[in-house]
């Protein structure tokens, strides 16, 4: 079973890696055109919009995948609910989001980017990953995002030529998402699935009842992107621009970790459905060790061979200034760890328990970043972020131990 999982992951990981690495090819071009401060503003807008995505989704990627897999609801009914709920939540978020942008000075300075970021979040949340993942069509999802990133990369390289073009960079990203949506619609029509609507009031009640499930993806996303927001307030646009460069590499680990954990999640659910809990404990421990070792090797190789982004930092800054960013990069090991442990907990329907712990982690995050930054500057902030990822991975692993004991018994 483990060998089958590795085989399945390796092919998908290649697609996922290409999807994430393509935008990284754009980074040197952006640094030469919109400069480091422009890159910082763009990265902040993307981070804030990424926090919006799980708000608009409200857990549907989890519930939809389950219901597609077990066939409890028709595809037409699920797609109709998906579309209506996305529209309802997006309309409800417009006013509070606008108020936040106007109230916070750092956000008000990039109001045009954040307005476009709202559209970016809406387009991203509309892509029905759950529809394909629930049918185990994982490669379809990866090809969709690969097409999106390929369009974005080529468009930026061809059309972005001057300073102050952050808005157009993000707009090209949105257009790539629209193309992915059109392809999704074509694939769904080819499956001969029609939308089935049951009424706005009923969908609103469904949103309210499923909010507890939505807390899990909300808190998971916060843990991934709030560090960027905090760092942007502490460092300012130029220093944050450098910080965001390394965070782009961390996005690779977040997305690979999410892909890996999704495949693992399907396998866990299969074991649970077949009532083969006796072998789940050893399987989980092997997966945990594999994820940790694989991420460690990859990051070690990246450091040894000096990835282009780190090489750029090395040229711009002295050796001592580069240390904090190397520290942040090592957090990628624990990013993958917590991704697959979260999926393990979700396979046992521990959404509420995971959400409560995640909220506690989120409350601790500003303290772990702000206090060390106050005393030790960039190096302190970096160690605080690494410490946060280590703490989250350790606590989630300890949280999974009772499930392992019950599986064994």
Gyration radius of the chain's alpha carbons: 21
Q: Return contacts of 323-328, CB within 8 angstroms, 24+ apart.
A: 323/379, 323/382, 324/378, 324/379, 324/381, 324/382, 324/383, 325/242, 325/243, 325/245, 325/246, 325/382, 327/379, 327/382, 327/383, 327/385, 327/386, 328/243, 328/246, 328/247, 328/250, 328/382, 328/385, 328/386
Range 361-374 average pLDDT: 86
The Cβ-side half-sphere exposure at 172, using a 13 Å CA radius, reads: 20
Range 111-129 average pLDDT: 91
Per residue in 296-305, pLDDT tens? 888 888 777 7
pLDDT at 215 (0 to 100)? 61
Longest dimension (CA), the chain: 64
pLDDT at 273 (0 to 100)? 67
Helices and strands of the chain, counted as H and E runs: 16, 0
Q: What DSSP element (H or E) covers 16? A: helix 2-33
Choose from 14-18, 361-365, 390-394 the range with maximum mean pLDDT: 390-394
pLDDT at 401 (0 to 100)? 85
| Residue 312 confidence (pLDDT) above 90 | no
Per residue in 173-224, pLDDT tens? 999 999 999 999 898 888 888 777 777 677 666 666 565 555 666 666 677 7
pLDDT at 175 (0 to 100)? 95
8 A C-beta contact, residue 331 and residue 385? yes
8 A C-beta contact, residue 56 and residue 122? yes
Residue entry with tokens 């999106």: 148
pTM of the predicted model over 0.85 = no
| Residue 155 confidence (pLDDT) above 90 | yes
| Residue 357 confidence (pLDDT) above 60 | yes
8 A C-beta contact, residue 15 and residue 251? no
Range 302-313 average pLDDT: 67
pLDDT at 314 (0 to 100)? 63
Residue 317 DSSP one-character state:
S
pLDDT at 313 (0 to 100)? 62
pLDDT at 116 (0 to 100)? 94
Task: Quote the percentage of the chain above a pLDDT of 90.
Answer: 12
Beta strands in 5-137 (DSSP E): none
Task: Quote the percentage of the chain above a pLDDT of 70.
Answer: 80
Confidence band for 123, pLDDT divided at 50, 70 and 90: very high
**Range in 81-95, 109-123, 360-374, 393-407 with the lowest mean pLDDT:** 393-407
């Amino acid at each position: 079973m483990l060998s089958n999982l590795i085989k399945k992951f390796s092919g998908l990981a290649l697609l996922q890696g290409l999807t994430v690495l393509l935008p990284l090819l754009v980074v040197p071009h952006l640094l030469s055109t919109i400069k480091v401060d422009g890159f910082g503003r763009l990265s902040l807008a993307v981070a804030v919009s990424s926090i919006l995505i799980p708000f608009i989704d409200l857990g549907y990627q989890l519930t939809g995948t389950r219901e597609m897999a077990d066939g409890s609801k028709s595809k037409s009914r699920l797609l109709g609910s998906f579309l209506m709920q996305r529209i309802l939540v997006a309309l409800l978020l417009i006013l509070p989001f606008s108020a936040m942008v106007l109230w916070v000075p750092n956000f008000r300075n990039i109001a045009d980017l954040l307005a476009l970021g709202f559209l970016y979040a809406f387009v991203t949340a509309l892509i029905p990953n759950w529809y394909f993942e629930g049918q185990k069509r994982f490669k379809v999802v990866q090809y969709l995002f690969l097409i999106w990133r390929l369009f974005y990369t080529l468009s930026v390289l061809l059309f972005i030529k001057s300073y102050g073009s952050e808005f157009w960079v993000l707009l090209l990203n949105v257009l790539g998402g629209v193309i992915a949506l059109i392809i999704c619609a074509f694939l769904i029509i080819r499956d001969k699935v029609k939308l089935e609507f049951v009424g706005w009031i009923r969908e609103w009640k469904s949103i309210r009842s499923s909010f507890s499930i939505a807390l899990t993806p909300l808190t998971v996303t916060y843990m991934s992107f709030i560090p960027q927001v905090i760092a942007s307030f502490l460092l300012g646009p130029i220093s944050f621009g450098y910080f965001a460069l390394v965070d782009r590499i961390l996005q690779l680990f977040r997305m690979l970790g999410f892909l890996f954990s999704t495949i693992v999640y399907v396998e866990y659910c299969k074991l649970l459905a077949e009532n083969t809990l006796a072998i789940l404990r050893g399987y989980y421990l092997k997966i945990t060790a594999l994820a940790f070792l694989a991420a460690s090797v990859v990051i070690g190789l990246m450091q040894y061979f000096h990835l282009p982004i780190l090489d750029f930092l090395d040229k711009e800054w002295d050796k001592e200034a580069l240390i904090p960013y190397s520290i942040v990069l090592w957090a990628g090991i624990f990013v993958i760890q917590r991704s697959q442990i979260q999926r393990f907990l979700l396979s046992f329907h521990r959404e509420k328990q995971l959400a409560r712990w995640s909220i506690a982690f989120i409350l601790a995050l500003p303290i772990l970043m702000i206090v060390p930054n106050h005393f030790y500057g960039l190096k302190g902030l970096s160690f605080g972020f690494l410490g946060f990822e280590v703490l989250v991975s350790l606590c989630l692993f300890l949280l999974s131990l009772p499930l392992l004991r019950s599986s064994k018994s």
